[in-house]
Structure 1
Amino acid sequence: MHKAPYAADPASSRGREFAEDRDGARGPRSEFQRDRDRIIHSIAFRRLRSKTQVFVAPDGDHYRTRLTHSIEVAQIGRVIARELGLDEDLTEALCLAHDIGHPPFGHAGEKALEEAMSHAGGYDHNAHGIRTLARLESPYPERVGLNLTWEMLEGMAKHNGPVATPNWALAEVDRAFPLELGEWPSLEAQVAAVADDIAYDNHDIDDGLRAGFLDLDDLMELDFLADQFRKVERRFPHVARDIQLRELIRSQIGLMVNDVIHHTRANVSGMGDIAQIRGAGRQLAGFSPDLADEERRLKKFMYDRLYYHAEQIATAEKARDVVARLFVAYQQDPSTMPDDWFERLPTREPEKSRHIADFIAGMTDRFAIDQCRKIYGRAPEGLSNV
């Protein structure tokens, strides 16, 4: 397909932190295809299947996890990238990797690690995702990390824009392989960020309806959603309500994707290369102003009705306690960690605490619960709220 002049070009990549011998390379893949494949084959990516998206440790098979969410983000990102003439492989890789740094129990787990690590530089899931892929996930015999391209790491670091004050984990990677944190990233990275918004804005509604935390009357309080649902009712007046609601979600995603494509295309009109994208000094890929306003109202609604729902908060507090107690246990008696982690435990701070946080952050919800039960003899009841 035709590539836009401002697309990231794998043939012109700024390279990898560690030089690689391409003799006997495994298949005719571009540099960004190799990035994507390394992520898909990583242990960190597989663990996302049992990490919280919205609902903690869901018993139901139909609720989204970080893994299914990331796959859905990648589908949306590829559609937008294709229409804009961007590199689809880089966009997909960024979408697939964007949540790899999340600890167990989502934001509840992150809050616990932030508090536990306050003396050791704190914890940030985005920076930890980069740390995971650049340092912790090390399947190769001759180097650390997955050795991803500069464009891949840059996009992960800056998908939400320039980073003025990187935390210790991101700063550590940046010192070894400078990512120009003060500049805007590629359009592929910006598309990955807005694809994430589109996915969770709509799929969290779907899961909230399935769990009974939201209902149709709630959704109709938003004019934006009410207008879309009336259109669905007029088109499909005789189908079951649950099918109408699923059609609403699909319609919403389509509307948002088309808006991003048209608005972004207008923003980049006349730009001749990727340097102009990075030098624009602002976000170029995103919603039009009108839809951005509607999307902000939707997010506020979701926080009020779903994310801060009383049952969600109660469950999140129990989940936060699991992570906090694990951190204390490993600090007080590191021998309770698995042998390979215990043997590599630094003796000095802050390295010791960071090592413990690395171990906990990699856990799935289920493994964290099992470890808490193993160490303390029990785990909080009611950790699954659906």
Structure 2
Amino acid sequence: MFRAPYAADPEARVLREFGGPSEGERRGPRSAFQRDRDRIIHSMSFRRLKSKTQVFIAPDGDHYRTRLTHSLEVAQIGRVIARALGLDEDLTEALCLAHDLGHPPFGHAGEAALSEAMERHGGFCHNAQALRTVMRIECPYPEHDGLDLTWDLLEGLAKHNGPVAAPNWALAELDAAFPLALDTWPSLEAQVAAIADDIAYDNHDIDDGLRAGFLQLDDLLALDFLADQWRAVEKRFPRASRERLLREMVRDQIGLMVNDVLGHTAREVRGLGSVAEVRAAGRRLAGFSPAMAAQERRLKSFMYERLYYHPEQVAAAERARDVVARLFAAYAEDARLMPEDWQARLPARDPERARVIADFIAGMSDRFAMQAVSRIYGSAPEGLINV
């Protein structure tokens, strides 16, 4: 299989914060990046993504995306792009699977509530929380905290959206313990994971929005590039049902975006000979062409207006924020409401105390958070399920 000279190399000297197991303890013929992926998949934090909000809070329907299914879809797109570009597929997949591990219950609504609760204690950021999760909170090994992932994985997770000029307290603490070169661009695998995330949620959120009835086809067709896709699909399949045509349009749009990324990125990396040259380029190399980027911005604006800020979504988000805020207030007032193992690790003073409380809440699924607030306050907000 073709491997580009600028791909991350799992056979090169691999750094882990705690060194990892000795050669004699290796479990199976896996590369360092395959082991990263497997550690993520086997983690409890990854399993809990099945009950965390993607767009719709605590969906009743089996067919709406959750953080787990979204992460799997991102990984599929990321692997396709990585293979075509000759990058390391395992590192790309691991980054895609881990990128949302720091999201609290109820998605961005939960994050907003935690950010507000943590304002006097350094704030809360789901991206930094993902690093904190894999480096400090997940503790399956007897000799150290965290999953002891490779430097390449942690660096890509920390800055897959680009260099971090002003890391918050969580990322700064982790960077001080295991420096991640936050001021440079990451590997192409990390950049591909970031653009795969955009492609997945741009298009799959359309699918979910149409299914829920929050989006209408006529509104989507006001975007000329989607109207072009729709006309082409209708022409190819004149006898197909509307539902099948809609799903075909979404697939076509994903294909267009993937092919655009492949073409643009291939031009950007032409002549590069190493990962070091990728980082020294000083700019994003993997991404959309300027024309596709402009279309994607228009699509995002449309989605915020018509779906993410839909009145029913806004109302559900406010109820979700209230759940998280009430949980934080309750645990801050009486730590005995937390499980014993979390009580045992709770520092005596803020800000450290508040940060551990935020860790506990951030790890909750939507369902667990609603059950917890019901146990503490006697009931959960009505109407939180919005589909």
TM-score, structure 2 as length reference: 0.99
Determine if the alignment matches structure 1 residue 92 to structure 2 residue 100.
no
Q: C-alpha offsets along residues 92-134 of structure 1, whole Å, 9 cap, x if unaligned? A: 0000000000000000000000000011110000000000000
Q: Distance in 2 between matches of 1:205 and 1:13?
A: 42
Mapped contact 1:13–1:151 kept (Cα < 8 A): no
Q: Distance in 2 between matches of 1:162 and 1:269?
A: 22
- Any idea what SS the aligned residue of 1:119 has? helix
Mapped contact 2:5–2:274 kept (Cα < 8 A): yes
- Any idea what SS the aligned residue of 1:144 has? coil
Q: Distance in 2 between matches of 1:166 and 1:326?
A: 26
Alignment of 1:96-107 (within 5 A): 96-107=97-108
Q: Distance in 1 between matches of 2:29 and 2:362?
A: 35
Aligned twin of 2:340: 339
Q: Distance in 2 between matches of 1:2 and 1:28?
A: 20
Match for 1:215: what amino acid? Answer: Q
Moved over 3 A (4+): none
Match for 2:108: what amino acid? Answer: H
Aligned twin of 2:19: 19
Match for 2:60: what amino acid? Answer: D
Q: Distance in 2 between matches of 1:91 and 1:332?
A: 42
Mapped contact 1:3–1:85 kept (Cα < 8 A): yes
Mapped contact 1:10–1:31 kept (Cα < 8 A): yes
Q: Distance in 1 between matches of 2:345 and 2:3?
A: 46
Q: C-alpha offsets along residues 328-378 of structure 1, whole Å, 9 cap, x if unaligned? A: 000111101111111221111111100100000000000000000000001
Mapped contact 2:14–2:32 kept (Cα < 8 A): no
Aligned twin of 1:278: 279
Aligned twin of 2:300: 299
- Any idea what SS the aligned residue of 1:62 has? coil
Q: C-alpha offsets along residues 285-338 of structure 1, whole Å, 9 cap, x if unaligned? A: 000110100000000000000000000000000000000000000011110111
Alignment of 1:192-211 (within 5 A): 192-211=193-212
Aligned twin of 1:311: 312
Aligned twin of 1:28: 29
Aligned twin of 1:325: 326
Q: Distance in 2 between matches of 1:378 and 1:15?
A: 48
Aligned twin of 1:7: 7
Say which is worse superposed, 336-345 or 348-357, in terms of deviation: 336-345
Aligned twin of 2:252: 251
Alignment of 1:132-211 (within 5 A): 132-211=133-212
Match for 1:18: what amino acid? Answer: F
Match for 1:15: what amino acid? Answer: L
Q: Distance in 1 between matches of 2:275 and 2:323?
A: 45
Determine if the alignment matches structure 1 residue 215 to structure 2 residue 213.
no
Match for 1:105: what amino acid? Answer: F
Say which is worse superposed, 282-291 or 334-343, in terms of deviation: 334-343
Say which is worse superposed, 264-273 or 334-343, in terms of deviation: 334-343
Match for 2:293: what amino acid? Answer: A
Mapped contact 1:131–1:173 kept (Cα < 8 A): yes
Alignment of 1:74-89 (within 5 A): 74-89=75-90
Q: C-alpha offsets along residues 179-229 of structure 1, whole Å, 9 cap, x if unaligned? A: 000000000000000000000000000000000000110111100100001
Q: Distance in 2 between matches of 1:57 and 1:19?
A: 39
Q: Distance in 2 between matches of 1:72 and 1:22?
A: 33
- Offset of 1:14 from its aligned partner? 4.0
TM-score, structure 1 as length reference: 0.99
Q: Distance in 2 between matches of 1:53 and 1:33?
A: 26
Q: Distance in 1 between matches of 2:276 and 2:125?
A: 29
- Offset of 1:13 from its aligned partner? 4.1
Mapped contact 1:13–1:149 kept (Cα < 8 A): no
Q: Distance in 2 between matches of 1:24 and 1:136?
A: 24
Q: Distance in 2 between matches of 1:283 and 1:174?
A: 22
Mapped contact 2:114–2:124 kept (Cα < 8 A): yes
- Any idea what SS the aligned residue of 2:23 has? coil
- Any idea what SS the aligned residue of 2:11 has? helix
- Offset of 1:22 from its aligned partner? 2.3
Q: Distance in 2 between matches of 1:343 and 1:260?
A: 48
- Any idea what SS the aligned residue of 2:45 has? helix
Structure 1 stretches lacking a partner, 5+ long:
none
Percent identity of the aligned residues? 72
Aligned twin of 1:46: 47
Q: C-alpha offsets along residues 125-176 of structure 1, whole Å, 9 cap, x if unaligned? A: 0000000000000100011100000000000001000000001111111001
